Amino acid sequence: MSPSSKYTGPPPARETALNSDFLNCPTGLVEYYFNDGIFRWSDGLYQMYGFERGEVVPSMDMVMPHLEPIDRPRVQAYWEHVSKHGGPSSIYVTIRDRKDHQHKLLYSADYIMDGTTPVGVWGVVVDLTTSIHTDRHQLATEAVAASAVNRAAIEQAKGILMGRTGISADEAYGLMSQLSQDTNRKVYSIAQDIIERTTAGVRGKNGEDHSLL
């Protein structure tokens, strides 16, 4: 597509329906008709690249410099495949916008059909960057919280063993660690078992004492 082929009309008609499907991620759309060779971008897609409508002419030549070098041949091959064979087909790529901010994008494309005849390609673009960072942050937060709970249980179980047997904190942990290895269970699970059995009167199943109590 030449620079004179600037398209500044309305965004693709599919954008309204798309946005309700990906409420938590920025989304965009592209339409390309074989008869005119013009890429039509939605406002959301311009924004992913750091532009406003009218500032650039959407094209493969315009997109390529924004892609990470390792993704450029993959995207070129993807576009050629979808243009010749349709889809649905997806690809995950990394771009850098106008201000050099990194974005993780998911492209999914298919033919635009006129009856049984493919007349173009339309694609959905979802910016997963915020979602990925949020998921990582949430996982890290959950891991820290779980670790705190586990540590509290282990410390409580150590205290129980120290109080009942007169051993040191290190020795109490060593006993739990050894039982953990012998039974192929986590130390936290052993600690939780000690706490529960102590709360229930120290008696285990079938009236037998816990091995550490």
- Do 193 and 163 belong together in one domain? yes
- For residue 178, being part of any structural domain is answered with yes
Q: What is the pLDDT of residue 15?
A: 44
Does residue 25 form part of some domain?
Answer: yes
Looking up tokens 């007169």 gives: 166
Q: Give all strands of the β-sheet with 27-33 in edge-to-edge order.
A: 39-41, 27-33, 117-127, 102-114, 89-96
Output the CA–CA distances (angstroms, integers) from residue 174 to 150, 162, 168, 196, 212, in the order listed. 16, 12, 10, 20, 11
What is the domain-level CATH number for residue 191? 1.10.10.10
Residue 138 sits in the same domain as residue 86 = no
Of 106, 127, 148, the residue that ends a domain is: 127
Quick check: is 19 in a domain? yes
Of 111, 127, 143, the last residue of a domain is: 127
What DSSP element (H or E) covers 23? none
- Number of CB atoms found within 10 A of residue 196's CB: 12
Q: Is residue 120 part of a domain?
A: yes
Work out the average pLDDT over 173-199. Answer: 87
66 and 49 in contact (C-beta within 8 Å)? yes
In a domain, 35, yes or no: yes
Same domain? 68 vs 171: no
Q: Is residue 42 part of a domain?
A: yes
Q: Rg (Cα) of the chain, in Å, rounded?
A: 29
| Beta strands per DSSP E along 39-192 | 39-41, 89-96, 102-114, 117-127
pLDDT of residue 119 exceeding 90, the answer is yes
Same domain assignment for residues 91 and 74: yes
CB of 160 within 8 A of CB of 194? Answer: yes
In a domain, 113, yes or no: yes
Task: From 79, 102, 127, give the residue that closes a domain.
Answer: 127
* Residue 130 predicted with pLDDT over 50: yes
Q: Residue 26 is part of which domain span?
A: 15-127
Reported confidence tier of residue 140, pLDDT bands at 50, 70, 90: low
Q: Are residues 26 and 101 in the same domain?
A: yes
Q: How far apart are CA 97 and CA 66, in angstroms?
A: 6
Is 9 inside any structural domain? no
Peptide bond into 88 cis (omega under 30): yes
Average pLDDT over residues 99-107: 92
Average pLDDT over residues 25-43: 90
Q: Are both 102 and 19 inside the same structural domain?
A: yes
Q: What is the CATH number of the domain that holds 75?
A: 3.30.450.20
pLDDT of residue 171: 86
Same domain, 23 and 110: yes
User: What is the total count of domains within the chain?
Assistant: 2
Are residues 144 and 170 part of one domain?
Answer: yes
- Both 30 and 63 in one domain: the answer is yes
